[in-house]
């Protein structure tokens, strides 16, 4: 069953679990969020009324419109940047102060499944601010990498693999993989990001963090009918809480 954070006659606010694909596609054989919304909630709007996307392994809040009018209203709010979104991400390295990434995003010419910062890409802006600096303790490293020899462990130390930052990200635009691409661009890829973190780093991360550490934690918008400002929050899921618990300040 889907976790519904809010529902009225106009819309739903869904807390999407990780591992659930949002949109149907020719390459997708599994049941999608759109399928569930049409089947279980009888939503007859195209794509199950889904207003915006999250990647398959990203968890958190998604807005769902019950009517075409509401869908168009919320899409307009996104386009006009009236909707406020907030994500939580755990990234590699230490981020000591808040900043803004303004880097246009387009498909990677060398790999069409990836996106990169490109001069002729689409405008993309992400604000970010550090919440706290965290580390894997020596004890945790020894536990997680108990099969590593001394040379391999020294390599982890030289790479400062044990340093991380929990970050709050506020995307001002909605490009595909935007937060992941922008954090990679400033040298702080998201933990367990197979696509942008690098193959070797991803394999290390997966030993203690089961999926990409990215969660759509908060959203604010104008209700499409009443016009009143609404906010919804989604707590950090258990799998990411467990991963976070392995880190010490």
The answer to whether 108 and 125 have CB atoms below 8 angstroms apart is: no
CA separation (Å) from 178 to 13, 67, 244?
A: 22, 28, 23
Identified catalytic residue from 15, 23, 40, 55? 55
CA 118 to chain CA centroid, nearest Å:
21
| Helix residue ranges per DSSP H, the chain | 33-40, 68-79, 138-144, 150-158, 178-185, 199-205, 238-244
Q: How many CB atoms lie within 10 A of CB 97?
A: 7
Residue 40 appears among annotated catalytic residues: no
Cite the active site residues. Answer: 55
């Amino acid at each position: 069953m889907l976790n519904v954070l809010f529902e009225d006659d106009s819309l739903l606010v869904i807390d999407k679990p990780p591992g659930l694909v949002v949109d149907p596609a020719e390459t997708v054989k599994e049941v999608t969020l759109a399928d569930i919304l049409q089947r279980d909630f009888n939503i007859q709007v195209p794509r199950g009324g889904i207003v915006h996307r999250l990647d398959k392994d990203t968890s958190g809040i998604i807005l769902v419109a019950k009517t075409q009018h509401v869908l168009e209203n919320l899409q307009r709010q996104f386009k006009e940047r009236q909707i406020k979104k907030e994500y939580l991400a755990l990234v590699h390295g230490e981020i000591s102060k808040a900043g803004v990434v303004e880097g246009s995003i387009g498909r990677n010419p060398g790999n069409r499944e990836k996106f990169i910062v490109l001069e002729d890409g689409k405008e993309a802006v992400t604000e970010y601010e550090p919440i706290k600096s965290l580390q894997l303790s020596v004890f945790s490293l020894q536990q997680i990498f108990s099969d590593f020899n001394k040379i391999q462990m020294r390599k982890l130390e030289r790479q400062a693999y044990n340093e991380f930052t929990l970050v709050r990200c506020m995307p001002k635009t909605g490009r595909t993989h935007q937060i992941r691409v922008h954090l990679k661009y400033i040298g702080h890829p998201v933990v367990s990001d197979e696509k942008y973190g690098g193959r070797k780093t991803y394999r290390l991360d997966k030993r203690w963090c089961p999926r990409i550490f990215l969660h759509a934690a908060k959203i604010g918008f104008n209700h499409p009918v009443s016009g009143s400002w609404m906010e919804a929050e989604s707590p950090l899921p258990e799998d990411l809480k467990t991963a976070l618990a392995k880190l010490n300040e």
